[in-house]
Amino acid sequence: MTRGLKRSASVALILAGMIQGAWAAENGATNYPAGSPGVFIASFPPIPGLFAISQTSYTSANGLYDGQGNKLPINFKLSAVSETMRFLASYPGDFFGAHVYSQLVVPFVHLESTNPGGSFQANGLANITFSPIILSWALSPVQTFTVGLDIMPNTGTYSARQPLNVGTNYTTISPVLAYRYADPRGFEFAVSPRLLLNNANTDSVNAFTQLTQQYRSGDALVVDFNAGYNIGDWKLGVVGGYTHQYQDDKINGVKAFNFAGVQDGNRLRSINAGPSLTYNAGRFQINVNYQHTFYVENGSRGDTVWANLAFPLWVPAPPAGAGPVKR
């Protein structure tokens, strides 16, 4: 194999692990896709029961960008289809005035990548998310404040020798806050900042030396947001997310290089947003939204379409004589 072919193959191994969002390993990805909650930020049912949200998404990403947001002269395309089920348990009673919830998020993903090294595919379970306790306070009839802790254990499908992976092979701990203002006959706004505190991928493989290495993706701040206006059963608005990695990626304790060959710690920064349409049918809600990556550093630009369906799985019957349940 010539030197040029060796370099091309090495670049291909790096590129194949790359996608904006939560479906690949290091190099421009996280365990949490900014903007994924859409219109459901801090939107919790005020009654006990078991609830679910089905989220189907399609992402198309192309082009790699350096640490200054400049596009690199590298052929790169990647597409992802995902089905994510979010299960929410709402408990009776309260804790210091807060309603108490738990959550489980289970994402399945199909990836396809084309780059100078060839074409690759991957399927499987991405890292699940478990939220053991979520506390939500009603500040007023139209305002809520929420705190929670998301745990994203190393559960995704991953093989260090495969050029493309769905799982990241490391665990992330994510403390999260959220504020929501929602007038059912008017304006609605929600914002949710969270930290992504990452462990290391101890089974990463260096694309050039083919030796096992420890790759630790730097910790990051993610801010999800949405805004809209309710008109009867419909809501028109905008949704999105912002990612700011504030710590360097490190390989065996040394600051990582980015795709441009610059040793800048490969810090990811991106912002994505787009229009959203929601229909409230009472017992269930349907939402579709589109999000475009307007700016990215050390990552790729993508376009994602989401189709979401929220519905109850089980709601206990009210006690005899209690009257109808207010929703």
Task: Tell me how far CA of residue 11 lies from CA of 26, 81, 133, 168, in angstroms.
Answer: 14, 24, 42, 19
Encoded tokens for 221? 């701040």
**Burial, 49: exposed, middle or buried (Cβ in 10 Å; 0-12, 13-18, 19+)?**
middle
| Neighbouring-strand partners of residue 212 | 205
User: What residue type is 270 in one-letter code?
Assistant: S
Q: How far apart are CA 327 and CA 314, in angstroms?
A: 14
Q: Are 135 and 95 in contact (CB under 8 A)?
A: yes
Encoded tokens for 184? 């059912």
Prediction pTM value: 0.90
Encoded tokens for 73? 């002269």
What's the CATH fold of domain 35-314?
Lipocalin (2.40.128)
| Neighbouring-strand partners of residue 237 | 228, 276
Q: How far apart are CA 154 and CA 199, in angstroms?
A: 9
Q: pLDDT tens per residue, the chain (327 residues)? A: 333 323 333 333 333 333 333 222 364 568 999 999 999 999 999 999 999 999 999 999 999 999 999 999 999 999 999 999 999 999 999 999 999 999 999 999 999 999 888 899 999 999 999 999 999 999 999 999 999 999 999 999 999 888 889 999 999 999 999 999 999 999 999 999 999 999 999 999 887 788 899 999 999 999 999 999 999 999 999 999 999 999 999 999 999 998 888 999 999 999 999 999 999 998 999 999 999 999 999 999 999 999 999 999 999 987 666 555 444
Q: How far apart are CA 62 and CA 296, in angstroms?
A: 12
For residue 249, the tally of other CB atoms under 10 A from its CB is: 24
Encoded tokens for 271? 């912002």
Q: How far apart are CA 14 and CA 31, in angstroms?
A: 18
What does the pLDDT read at residue 22? 28
What does the pLDDT read at residue 321? 60
Q: What are the extents of the domains in the chain?
A: 35-314
Closest CA to 74 of 271, 261, 211: 261
DSSP string, 145-199: EEEEEEEE-S-S---TTSSS-SS-SS-EEEEEEEEEEE-TTSEEEEEEEEEEEE-
